[in-house]
A = this chain, B = another copy of it.
């Protein structure tokens, strides 16, 4: 323990070209450490992997119910979406229902990852709006809570009631005090915590009481894997492959969490170098190791034993999860 563990390797021909180190934990519903690779005390920013926790005040306050939010809204509140029409249209409608417009968002604008949506914008000579931002569902959730609380418009400020509620929910879920926060890509505060703390929060979601806020969010994610990320994305593909046994969420700089309701377990992992390809590889390996994804499932193989190809489709090598990730430590 302590030093990060090599979790993923990139081979070219017969030689190792690159590798990725990281830390990961599996926690149970009593807050206990079931397994660790590397250092469970590592202080991390969960980034977008915290979206389920950031959505708790939306439900607990009664705001979600008062505004008639359904499972699709909740899945979008937890999403880092591709900006395809299935994501941006419901977010736009959600803002309209609140009597708000794109300018009320504080997430900033970026081109959608979804190729069809991106190329349509470029062809039309249009610039992306804030609702195209991958975090726009989370921000629509924040704005719903703003409306419910009658709070001011700068909902991403650290001392705004929305963020105070998020911090309280986050520290309660992790059962730890956050040592500080950073500003996320979408301008909201992102609270730092130990890796074990984040895993503990995920175990709490896994073991949630029927119909609690946590339970509603997990069920919404599992019911709508296409809304949580989008076609081609690891969260969506692996949630489908786990067939209801896992809610999954990536975060920037190579964070990943898994909520396993049938096992009552939570997983949190961080690749130290911030590479998404490695976080996807490592979480898939852990899902296999924990028995919620068959090792020979095509989507497991696509992330743990992935052939790499070049611009002419020639196979150049492999990305592989290391042996240490394929068994309990």
A binding-site residues for B, Cβ under 8 Å: 10, 12-15, 17-21, 43-45, 106-110, 119, 122-123, 125, 133, 179-187, 190, 192, 253-254, 272-275, 278, 310-317
Contact = CB atoms under 8 A, between A and B. Distances in A.
A314 to B, nearest CB: 6
Contacts of A125: 123
Contacts of A123: 122-123, 125
Given A10-B274, A183-B314, 14 more contacts: A12-B182, A12-B183, A14-B180, A15-B45, A15-B182, A17-B274, A18-B274, A19-B273, A122-B122, A182-B316, A183-B310, A185-B311, A186-B311, A274-B275
Given A122-B122, A187-B312, A311-B133, A253 B17 contact: yes
Taking the full assembly, how many copies of this chain does it contain?
Answer: 2
A133 B190 CA distance: 39
Given A15-B45, A272-B18, A312-B106, A10 B253 contact: yes
Given A13-B182, A123-B123, A110 B43 contact: no
Interface centre among A275, A278, A310 (most CB of B within 10 A): A310
Contact of A273 (B44, B182, B275): B275
Nearest to A13: B182
24 contacts: A12-B183, A13-B180, A13-B181, A13-B183, A15-B43, A15-B179, A15-B180, A17-B44, A18-B254, A21-B21, A107-B312, A108-B310, A108-B313, A123-B123, A182-B317, A183-B314, A183-B315, A183-B316, A184-B310, A186-B310, A186-B311, A187-B310, A187-B314, A274-B275
A184 to B, nearest CB: 7
A4 B45 CA distance: 24
